[in-house]
Every structure is written in C-alpha cells, then in structure tokens.
Structure 1
Amino acid sequence: MHNEPADPIMLSALQHWSYCPRQCALIHVEQVFDENVFTMRGNAAHERVDDPGFETFEGVRAERALPVWSDRLGLIGKCDVVEFHPDGRIYPVEYKHGRKREKVHDDLQLAAQAMCLEEMTGKTITHGAIYHHSSRRRREVAITQELRDKVEKTVNAIRAIMNSGKLPPPVNDARCKECSLIEICQPQAVAERAVQHSLLKTLFEPEGI
C-alpha cells in the first residue's frame, strides 16, 4: 500500500507562519482571507511582477512570476523576479511594499525560493534580494545555512499543523493590529476565553494538603 503524496505547501505560507502561526493556519488550512490596507499595498507592489514575462538588461535576463517548486520539501509557488546573470548566477528578488528594512519573515520566503530554484537548476544560490516598493531600494540577503535550516523547520511545523487541522492559539500582541484577519481571528476574545477557562479550572480544583 502506497502513501498518498502530501499536499504541497505554498511558499507564501512560510512568511505567514513566521509572522503568526495562527494566521498561517487560517489562510492555508481554513482557507480564509481578507483585505486590509497592508494587503492592498502589497498587491499594488506586486501588480507588475505578477504578470509573467521577461526582460533583458545588460545581459541579465529577468523572469517575472516564475513558477518554482521543491519535491524534497513539498513546496510550490512562484518568484516575483528571478535574474539569470551572464556569469551563471541565479538571483531571486521578492517584492514587498514599505520602506527598506530587515524582516526575517521576508528572508525566510526568499530562502525557500532559492532552495526551490537550486533543486530545479542544480546550481547553488548564495544571495537574493528583497525589493522594497516604497523606497525603490533593494536589500540583499545572504542565503545562509542558518536560514536554510529555518526553512526546513518551518516547513515541518506547517506540515504538522496542516495534518492536525487545528488552529494554533492567537498571539494577541502588537502583530494583530496589522493583520487583515483580526476580525476573523478575534485574538482578544479567544485569549480572554482561555484565561476564563483556566481560572474556572483552578477554582474547582481541590486545595493541596
């Protein structure tokens, strides 16, 4: 008897999980999504690179909306832009709204893209970049072993939650203010119910001797 192949994990799920595991589960397990000002800005930043095609500049071929996958990791998705340089270098570029700043969530998604491209092409990718739409600037990211290990751990964590079908508890912190799923998630209400449940459980437990 052969095991059924696991459903592939979307590359975007890694960024969602890194930001908030509950957000990731709502989107990729419960299949819910909503728009807010931050997601709309993100969509605007991706408007051009979501259109498949390519352009060449000074010998560099830039492929837009390039489908990528990894059979080993069970990942699938697309890269905003992948540059193929004359010296053989492959350089993925992920587009994000906002100004140039360091975000581990974005780096994780970029590293996963690089790992997919490596499996597809057989070439090692040492660097990529995050292009920040508001500032029109790139931030180069080294695809380190530490980042690769983090990709593998994140994929395993997402796979576990997909197999369980259960939602992780809400974080109920500053991240929630920027989340488009706050009304669906209701982090404060869920957290308050958990506290009440804990208090009730303690209330009826016999006191120690």
Structure 2
Amino acid sequence: MATYSEEDYLMLSGIQHFAFCRRQWALAHIENQWNDNYLTIAGQNLHHKTDDPYISETRGEKFIVRAMPVHSREYGLTGVCDVVEFKKDNNGTQVFGKSGKYVPIPIEYKHGKEKTNHSDELQLLGEAVCLEEMLFCHIDYGYLYYGKTRHRKKIEFTLALRQELNQTVLEMHSYWQRKYTPRVKPSQKCKSCSLRDICLPELLNRESVNEYIERRLSE
C-alpha cells in the first residue's frame, strides 16, 4: 500500500476548510494566506478550553486524553485531536500503562452549530483513521460537540463517509503536489469566510492572489 512521506503530510484541520471551500483551503495551506474573523477567534477560544495536553481524566470504565497528536502515513495527514475518550471494551486495543483493552472515540469541538454539508464529519473521520492506523484498531463512531447549541452529536463512520474522505484527501494531495489554487464561483458562504478580503473573487478571471499582491507591492 502506498504511503506519504512526512514532508507531504497535510493538516487534519484543513479537511474541514477544503470541504467548505477548496479555494479557501488552498489560500491558507498552499499560499499561506490567512486572516482571523470573529468566527475563527471564537473557535480558537473554544479550543483553548479543551486542548490542554496536561489535563487527563479517568471516569469509571473510560479515560480521556486531550490535545492528542495523531498522524496517518496511509492518508498523509497529521494534527491534534481535541479530545479522545478511551472506552473499555474487550474488542478494543491495548493502551500503554492501562490494563484491559480500550476503543478510542474522537471528539471534535466546533464553535458554531451543525452544518448542512459533511465538512465536520469528514474532519472527525480523518482523526479516526489516524487513530486506527496508530493503535491498530477499528473505530465505528465519534462525536461532534457544537458550542453554539451545546449539543454533542454522534457520527457513525459509514462506508460512504469513508469513501468520501478518501476522495477528498486524494484531491487535497493532488492540489498540494501541484501547488494549485483552484478558482471557485462566489456564493453566500463567502460572506462568513475569514479570507474574504484576500480571496478577491473579482480578480479570479485575471490573476492569482500572489500575482495581485506582487503587482500592488511593485506599484
């Protein structure tokens, strides 16, 4: 089975960006363009409360790990899981320093509310496939916690969702290898995009963002 080298690993968090808008992902991850808006700042504040690697909890038949670094050579992904619950299960995997077997369950925290697309689900599954590869196990589901509604939603990792993730990651790697920033048709979602002022959709038919910036700097 083909694997990716570490220099070609892509960020897990980019899966959600890519599913939301391929151009947004390319601007941030290929061209290194980024701006914060009130949505990204609120999301960062929520993650600061959960991403403390020095906080661990044990609750009965499970223990919780926060800010857990993960990666996958098969998918070429790397990142950090907000929270991973290890639930005691005879069908699970052994964990160093723990007696018995456990099944890891990833939990991803999101600032807003549930989306109409699969972007959050795909990022969560991306975390799961990293855990599966690292811990030699199979994970059936995970959870998305939405800060705006204070609701935790169970996400089943179906075959269809796994196929969608595989196709998404292959496309991401294709863009990354070619250093390609796609053109997209402006839509309503552009209004909430933190890169709205960098994307410059009115220039899409004329020049790239880097070309625009270089031209303005030389003027």
1:31 counterpart residue number: 32
Q: Distance in 1 between matches of 2:122 and 2:5?
A: 28
Please give the alpha-carbon distance, in whole angstroms, between the structure 2 residues aligned to 1:67 and 1:180.
26
Which residue of structure 2 aligns with residue 76 of structure 1?
A: 78
| 1:118-177 deviation line (CA, Å, top 9, x unaligned) | 001111100000001122210100011111111111111111111111210033001101
Q: Measure how far apart 1:6 and its partner are.
A: 5.0
Cα 1:62–1:103 shift into 2, 3 Å: farther
Normalised by the size of structure 1, how large is the TM-score? 0.85
**Alignment gaps of 5+ in structure 1:** 195-209
Superposition deviation, residue 96 in structure 1: 0.2
Counterpart secondary structure, 2:8: coil
> Alignment identity in percent?
38
Q: Tell me how far apart the structure 1 counterparts of residues 114 and 59 of structure 2 sit (CA, whole Å).
A: 24
Q: Return the match for 1:165 from 179, 193, 200.
A: 179
CA distance in 2, matches of 1:128, 1:177: 30
Runs of 4+ in 1 over 4 A off after TM superposition: 3-6, 100-103, 191-194
Counterpart mapping for 1:126-205 below 5 A: 126-187=140-201, 189-191=202-204, 193=206
Give the letter for the 2:186 counterpart.
N
What is the root-mean-square deviation of aligned Cα atoms in Å? 1.9
**How high is the TM-score relative to the length of structure 2?**
0.82
Q: In the alignment, residue 85 of structure 1 is paired with which amino acid?
A: K
Which of the two has higher C-alpha Rg? 1
Give the conservation status (yes or no) of the 8 Å contact 1:65–1:80. yes
Change (3 A) 1:102 1:84: farther
Give me the whole-angstrom Cα distance separating, in 1, the residues matched to 2:9 and 2:165: 15
For this pair of structures, how many residues does the alignment match?
191
